[in-house]
Amino acid sequence: MSTDLTAQGGQGVSPSLEWRDRKRYLWLLGLIPPTALFLAAGLIAGFNALGWSAVSPVWWWIGPLLVYGLLPVLDIFFGPDGQNPPEELMEQLENDKYYRYCTYAYIPFQFASLIFACYLWTTSDLSWLGVDGGLGIISKIGVALSIGVMGGIGINTAHELGHKKDSLERWLSKITLAQTFYGHFYIEHNRGHHVRVATPEDPASAKFGETFWAFLPRSVWGSLTSAWKLERTRMNRLEHSVWNIRNDVLNAWLMSVVLWGALTIIFGWEILPFMVIQAVYGFSLLETVNYLEHYGLMRQKLPSGRYVRAAPEHSWNSDHICTNIFLYHLQRHSDHHANPTRRYQVLRSFDDAPNLPSGYASMITLAYFPPIWRKVMDHRVIDHYDGDLTKLNVVPGKREKVLARAAASKQR
């Protein structure tokens, strides 16, 4: 299919309007994370053949190198995307199945890499890679974290699929989440986070002054318990026991049990530490993204007590092209919240939305260091609300302390 889209005419539409998606074939680069471990193995074999065995093991850490090194540099080098699809062509672009096949393709590579990693973790003979014996503990941790990166980005792939109305895509979403044992995300994100986003009631919306390390356990536990409550309510409404295979939390977790169990049978109990490390690291990457997406932002209440509708101003955005490609436009987060079922290729960047100073990949690293994060982000939150500190989503028990610190910082 041509990369050019042409409007078909009609009221207010120019029949000659043409638009080219410059990223059409770049979306295939999204398959780098689920194939990176195979690339690493090839690089290691090559380095060892050249006699560079002292440095070759660094490639087992290809996942963290990609997230914390290469992507931030590429975001700075290539800068913002800047291309939005015209309104007249959005339906045509939305219905182009090529884009959904790009996300489908992630899944088989994801599971192939997971199986390959289990083999690498357990084998005692990697001579075919030029490695003497099996992997050492440092290399094993690198493999686990690289697969964790793949699993974390896989959660984002599941996020894209899980928002769709097609039943196949929804099941593929839960299958993709099986690796990280985070199947409840499918429920909580769609029916919890999107309802409560940018409010104190949402566990996945970070509060002003809250460190990532305080947010992480709150979001993980809060999302899990919220998903269970949502499904318990649904089961009660359908007059079913909560302990029912129709419970989407249970059937999603069952997929993880089956996957982890099958891999344990094939490779032995020694893969369980690997599975735990990659899963925890994978969903922690998701939670880091959750942390930065709505940090300090707050939907105000109407006189009725309801919150205002989620708007572009309630999500931090970034339009840096490289992370856009790897995360399927997740950085165009405001449009996603306004139109949750809209496919990634038609998500738009809003000029009036609050913007991060760099791409998500860069901001993930900053989130790990609270003093640096506060220095970079706190004044942006305050400026977004024109200095009105009462509009911030602040940790309730620390409101006075946090606001006093913010006011002092603003005066300096």
Is the overall model pTM greater than 0.85, yes or no?
yes
3 state DSSP class of 332? coil
Q: Any idea what the Cα angle at residue 18 is, between residues 14 and 22, rounded to 5°?
A: 150
3 state DSSP class of 317? strand
Residue 112: count other Cβ atoms within 10 Å of its Cβ.
14
Residue 327 in contact with residue 156, Cβ under 8 Å? yes
Q: H helices of 50-184, where?
A: 62-65, 71-78, 90-94, 97-104, 106-122, 137-162, 167-177
Three-class DSSP labels, 103-136: HHCHHHHHHHHHHHHHHHHHCCCCHHHCCCCCCC
Instruction: Give 3-state DSSP helix, strand, coil % of the chain, rounded to 5.
Output: 65, 5, 35
Residue 301: beta bridge partners? 307
Residue 369 DSSP class: S
Residue 207 DSSP class: P
What contacts 40, CB < 8 A, 6 or more positions away? 59, 60, 62, 146
The radius of gyration of the chain from alpha carbons, rounded to an integer in Å, stands at: 22
For residue 184, give the nearest of 138, 226, 212 by alpha carbon.
Answer: 226
Residue 71 in contact with residue 323, Cβ under 8 Å? yes
Each residue's pLDDT expressed in tens, for the chain with a length of 412 residues: 345 665 544 444 444 467 888 999 999 999 999 999 999 999 999 999 999 999 999 999 999 999 999 999 999 999 889 889 888 888 899 999 999 999 999 999 999 999 999 999 999 999 999 999 999 999 999 999 999 999 999 999 999 999 988 889 999 999 999 999 999 999 999 999 999 999 999 999 999 999 999 999 999 999 999 999 999 999 999 999 999 999 999 999 999 999 999 999 999 999 999 999 999 999 999 999 999 999 999 999 999 989 999 999 999 999 999 999 999 999 999 999 988 989 999 999 987 889 999 999 999 999 999 999 999 999 999 999 998 888 999 987 666 777 676 666 656 5
For residue 386, give the nearest of 410, 357, 405 by alpha carbon.
Answer: 410
Of the CA atoms within 13 Å of residue 195, those in its CB half-sphere come to 10
